[in-house]
A and B are shown apart, each in its own frame.
Chain A
Amino acid sequence: MNRATIDLWVGIFVTIGIGAVVFLALKVGNLATLETKPSYHLDANFDNIGGLKQRAPVKAAGVIVGRVESIKLDPKTYEAVVGLRIDTGYQFSKDTIASILTSGLLGEVYIGLEIGGDPQMLADGGRIAKTQSAVVLEKLISQFLFDKASSGPAK
């Protein structure tokens, strides 16, 4: 096996190896959708975020327009402060309602934005004033049982 042939094959091998890493990063992972788009920041306060996690999608009319960037607890009001990173291409009115929703019974938790009618738009660093907390299933069930019990003995 002469030198040129070995060099050629090693070159091919290294190229497709690096190509495989790039494929993993772009096609299998989400590096492409994450870094390239310019984006801006919004805050939203919630009483209860349920199972919301960092990097959960933010959707408007079912379309992903951004991701959850940070989740913190406000030490004074004891509300959850959720930081959202929204693609610059999308603008939302000041009276937009953010609610924490679940896709399906066991699906992922995401933030849904319902657009209002205010002509003024939220700017970078703005705060979404109207929010709706996550529906906690255990609370719903206990409420239901409590109502049942208080409405009299079962027949």
Chain B
Amino acid sequence: MSHSNSLSRGMRRIGAGTIRAISRTGFMFRFFLAVLLKTPSALHRLQLTAREIYFAGVLSLVVIMVSGLFVGMVLGLQGYDSLNKYGAGDSLGIFVGLSLVRELGPVVAGLLFASRAGSAVTAEIGLMKTTEQLSAMEMMAVDPLARIVAPRFWGGVISMPLLAALFSVMGVFGAYLVGVRLIGVDNGTFWGNMQAGIDFWPDITNGIIKSVVFGIAVSLIAVFEGYDADPTAEGVSAATTRTVVGGSLAILALDFVLTVFMFRGLGNV
């Protein structure tokens, strides 16, 4: 008897979890549509969006640029070591450039963005909800979706591609420092191979598409988790954690899906 009881309890837990996941997904999608509907008001009051670009983008500059530099320098060292085993050390430029532009730039910048800016947005909106500022706005006939959520969403979406591009540039610069200045790969070979092997279309545009998609995903998760947080101290902390974990997993999963589609497009070239 107790055995079947524990079995049904387990089943109930699975069922409840599934229903919760589905209803949250549906809520998130409707929330996304609502934010998109409020976009005109976010663009109308550009000052609010500019403020969010400042918090999400400008304040992330240092961490993004320093990380990009170090990732590029490590790529330069590791890449040269591996390539040189096959006598292909001259291909360092194209190796570094392609890895950064196609994958590492958008993905690592996205992960950093989720933990640096996404978590802050979630905590801010969650705390506004906890202290009933959002309800107070509604009482005053101010739509919190238009006043609070939409500017933060668009601030993130606009910042993310720019941060990813900066990350790639700093990475290439870091690889240049290590590869050309330190190891002694020829300067002309480094840049020449890179330019010969990397096309604006599709390599760089694919990287930009990825960073835009990641920006939408992370920003949506951040504002949604804040808006959906339990109005307690615990609830806000759990929501912040969910933003970082969920945002990072979303980036990696989306990256795989996008890469599959992009490579299928490249397949017969």
A residues sitting closer than 8 Å to B (CB atoms) are 1, 3, 6-7, 9-10, 12-14, 16-18, 20-21, 23-25, 27-31, 33-34, 53-55, 57, 106
Contact = CB atoms under 8 A, between A and B. Distances in A.
B101 to A, nearest CB: 6
Contacts of B204: 21, 24-25, 28-29
Interface string B196-226: 1011100110011000000000000000000
A14 B165 CA distance: 11
B253 to A, nearest CB: 25
19 contacts: A6-B51, A6-B54, A9-B58, A13-B61, A16-B162, A17-B161, A17-B165, A20-B169, A21-B162, A21-B208, A23-B169, A24-B168, A28-B168, A28-B195, A29-B195, A30-B200, A55-B199, A55-B269, A106-B88
B196 A34 contact: no
B125 interface: no
B68 to A, nearest CB: 10
Nearest to A5: B54
B44 to A, nearest CB: 17
Nearest to B208: A21
A94 B268 CA distance: 32
Contact of B163 (A17, A31, A33): A17
Interface in B38-68: 47, 50-51, 53-54, 57-58, 61
A28 B99 CA distance: 12
Interface residues on B, range: 20 to 34
Given A6-B51, A28-B195, A34-B200, A20 B57 contact: no
Given A6-B50, A27-B191, A30-B199, 18 more contacts: A7-B50, A9-B54, A10-B58, A12-B58, A13-B53, A13-B54, A17-B165, A18-B162, A20-B168, A24-B101, A24-B165, A24-B168, A25-B200, A28-B97, A30-B195, A33-B195, A55-B269, A57-B196
Interface string B100-128: 01000000000000000000000000000
A9 B56 CA distance: 12
Contacts of B165: 17, 20-21, 24
Nearest to B54: A6
Contacts of B166: 16-17, 20
A6 B47 CA distance: 9
Nearest to B97: A28
